[in-house]
Amino acid sequence: SDICSLPFLAKICKKIKFSIQTSMPFKDVDSDKYSVFPTLRGYHWRGRDCNDSDKNVYPGRRPDNWDAHQDSNCNGIWGIDPKDGIPYEKKFCEGSQPRGIILLGDSAGAHFHIPPEWLIASQMSVNSFSNLPTALTDEFDWPQLSGATGFLDSTSGFEEKSIYLHLRKRNRCNHRDYQNISRNGGSSQNLKKFIESLSRNQQLDHPAIVIYAMIGNDVCNGRADPVPEMTTPEQLYSNVMQTLKHLDSHLPEGSHVVLHGLPNGTFLWENLHDRYHPLGQLNKDVTYAQVFSFLSCLKINPCHGWMSSNKTLRTLTSERAQQLSDTLKKIAASEKFTNFDLFYMDFAFEEIIEEWWRRGGQPWQLIEPVDGFHPNEVASLLLADLFWKKVQLQWPQVLGKENPFNSQIEQVFGDQGGH
């Protein structure tokens, strides 16, 4: 039954298991934590390596000798302008304050998504499962389309862009400087198991904007009584301080950290319970309430607290989520660190519902149809857009300035090697 027990597969299995346990790229020849391979924690999750045989070449680092002879930070800008003998990186990026985006998140941040076409028999065809190998080797996450670090065009034809693409548009020197350090089931409690996969050299790299967005698993679990397992405000305080101390010892000076609050998840039951699940659309025989109940019975409901017919439990879960958000707010207001400034932002799902209403949408259209739990791609991009607008308004220094050389960078380097 365990295919990995076959001798000829043992080695590759060991490597894949290591990659999954540590959230590090499976294929990383020079071990600099950046990869030329898309899945298995490759460039779908963090900027693509432009030289996987040199560990000193990777996205986000300060240029080596102004990249006169090679692109040491993979932003596609290198070489010397023949007109004046000045290296392009010096000419276009010096003083522009480049910075990277790093997400510390959970399945929502990694954009967990099971395509409904895998379950709807009436629409099924040979093409329905073409993305299954990619999904499997990316743990059913689609970070390349996520609200924080997505670099692919939205599959929903949405204009809004990810936070990374906003940053790249603001300063083309930020090209490829993104890291999605997220994991399905990620919470303040288990972040310490995979935060080591964050890559930033305090001396050699540019500053980073780190978004801490553990938005559910501290109050979500599959237990029959989920409350005892929920993280308490005291535990959260301790866990987050541990994370922030780790960041202070790794992030370059001049970085920024934004703590994201938790949502009020009662929204899920209220907008989905009596709607048909994709499995129930053909015969009108399976609602989300039944799916939630089935998952709870099996004790694998991703969030029994909110995905439950028990109103009292839903309210309790939201109260705890609010207490944890208040704790994050308190940390941001009272704790100081050497290498970064610290901010707090509410998880304003209500605001993006209003925005979606304004566009003629329905709230249930903002939730992943198969799991009935995660924000879908549209919701992620609306959240990213709202995040960008709020930060631009309240803390413009976090985003850096518009680079006046963007158009010249595009003129000389085009798409800068793409992603």
Partner 1 sequence: HSSSHHCVGCVMVMSVITQLTQVHNSTVEASMERLCSYLPGKLLLKTTCYLLVHIFGSDIIKLLDADMNADMVCHALEFCKQDAGQPQCHLYPLPKEIWNLRQKKSRHIVKKSVTMKYLKGD
What residues make contact with partner 1 under the rule CB under 8 A?
119, 121-122, 124-126, 128-130, 132-133, 136-137, 279, 282-283, 285-286, 290-291, 294-295, 297-300
Tokens read off for 308: 């439950």
Helices assigned H by DSSP within 335-418: 349-358, 377-394, 406-413
Q: Which is nearer to partner 1, 4 or 124 (CB)?
A: 124
State which amino acid sits at residue 198: L
CB of 132 to partner 1, least distance (A): 6
Q: Which is nearer to partner 1, 26 or 344 (CB)?
A: 26
User: Which residues is 212 bridged to in the sheet?
Assistant: 104, 259
Contact 140, 21 (CB under 8 A): no
Contact 91, 200 (CB under 8 A): no
- Please give the distance of CA 141 from its chain centroid, rounded to a whole number: 10
Q: Which is nearer to partner 1, 193 or 299 (CB)?
A: 299
Contact 136, 130 (CB under 8 A): no
CB of 103 to partner 1, least distance (A): 26
Q: Which is nearer to partner 1, 185 or 417 (CB)?
A: 185
CB of 140 to partner 1, least distance (A): 12
CB of 304 to partner 1, least distance (A): 13
Helical axes 233-248 vs 311-334, angle rounded to 10°: 40
> How far apart are the C-alpha atoms of 230 and 253, rounded to whole Å?
34
For strand 80-81 and strand 86-87, is the pairing parallel, antiparallel, or unpaired? antiparallel
CB of 301 to partner 1, least distance (A): 10
Q: Which is nearer to partner 1, 298 or 393 (CB)?
A: 298
Closest by CA to 296, choosing from 374, 373, 189, 215, is: 373
Q: So which residues are the catalytic ones? A: 107
CB of 124 to partner 1, least distance (A): 6
Residue 29 CA: distances (Å) to CA of 35, 49, 53, 102 = 8, 10, 6, 22
Contact 46, 33 (CB under 8 A): yes
> How far apart are the C-alpha atoms of 278 and 371, rounded to whole Å?
10
Q: Which is nearer to partner 1, 198 or 289 (CB)?
A: 289
